[in-house]
Amino acid sequence: MGSKRLDPRRLQLVFGAFALTAGTATALRPDPPHPLFTIAGACGYAVATVLSFGGWFALQRAATAAPARTVLIVFHLLFVPAQFLFLLAHELPWLGMALSSAIVVSLKPRFPRLKRTPRKVWLTLHVGIGVGWLGVATGMLVLAIVGASADSHEMQHGAYLLLHRFDLLLAIPSAFATIVTGVVVSLGTPWGLITHKWVLAKLVIALALPFLASFEGPWIEELEARSADGVIETGTTGLLLTGAMGLFTVLLWTAVVLSVFKPGGRTPWARPMGERRRGPTNATRSEAGDPRAPALASPHRPVPVSHPEGGGA
């Protein structure tokens, strides 16, 4: 019953219809607040429409099912954080993110382990971009405080002007890149994405921050517009914005602490540490009474590895 509800071919048709609707609604929205993200959303959903209907066709043929499955898994893993960006153009991407996640689950992905050099490259990117995101969030907190407390027009409006630019040009790309690199590092190493509690907690934080940003963005735009003609009382909006920026910074520092101390152990979804998977060869040996029939370790069981460079996700 559950497999039918999450049948990947049916989900391709559903997502194709959704992408066509969402792309059209995004492209036809009058007076879009962010034209750049409107164009990106319309183009992204156009690609998703073609890929979804093409995937529905390819998954039913034995010759094309395997490569189509790989393409769809990679696409939707990247398209989930991409749709966070499309929220700046329309509200429909919330549903799109849920559908993309369901498609990834239905395709039951298995990820190969990263080799040493690629792992270090991805880890370096993840740490560097994540630290940059923390710096951007701290700067935005300072600008929010300056804007709320400034007594001159130039200082106040300049703070909100910079805050808006930081949000669009630095915070949003940093969030997208941090999520993508973090998912790659998690799935390409024994840590996994939902195997260890500290990694899962970081994932929840990373996904919660763009959700918070969907409220913070309009507050910045409102204060920037209101302060254009002179000093204003920022009132509740100013307090909410400052509080949101403070929460942003605290959550990112929490992610740093989780990366360093790695608390919490393993999640209920992790395979037991002693779990083994028996292959056909070993089963044959056991039936034959061969004492040399050890159980093969599951390739998906985390293997203890050393991380001299602090190699967490």
Banded pLDDT at 312 (limits 50, 70, 90): low
Q: Per the structure, how many domains does the chain have?
A: 2
Banded pLDDT at 284 (limits 50, 70, 90): very low
Q: Which domain holds residue 205?
A: 116-261
Q: Which residue's entry shows tokens 């918070």?
A: 212
Phi, psi torsion values for 296, nearest 5 degrees? -75, 135
**Is 298 inside a domain boundary?**
no
Residues in contact with 197: Cβ distance below 8 Å, sequence separation at least 6, in sequence order: 263, 264, 265, 266, 267
Tell me the two tokens of residue 151: 């007594």
Share of the chain above pLDDT 70, in %: 85
**Is 268 inside a domain boundary?**
no
**Is 308 inside a domain boundary?**
no
Banded pLDDT at 285 (limits 50, 70, 90): very low
Q: Which residue's entry shows tokens 């954080």?
A: 81
The DSSP symbol for 298 reads P
- DSSP 3-state assignment of 18? helix
Of 84, 106, 128, the domain-final residue: 106
Q: Can you give the pTM of this predicted structure? A: 0.72
Spell out where 203-312 has E strands. Answer: 276-277, 296-297
Asked whether residue 183 falls in the same domain as residue 151, the answer is yes
pLDDT at residue 21 greater than cutoff 90 = yes
Banded pLDDT at 278 (limits 50, 70, 90): very low
Residue 112's pLDDT is 86
Which residue has better confidence, 194 or 27? Answer: 27
Residue 271's pLDDT is 66
- DSSP 3-state assignment of 196? strand
Measured distance CA(101)–CA(310) in Å, rounded:
29
The DSSP symbol for 1 reads -
**Is 271 inside a domain boundary?**
no
Asked whether residue 123 falls in the same domain as residue 219, the answer is yes
pLDDT at residue 298 greater than cutoff 80 = no
Average pLDDT, the chain: 84
Asked whether residue 219 falls in the same domain as residue 244, the answer is yes
Asked if residue 71 lies in contact with residue 56, where contact means CB atoms within 8 angstroms, the answer is no
Dihedral of CA 111/117/122/126: which sign?
A: positive
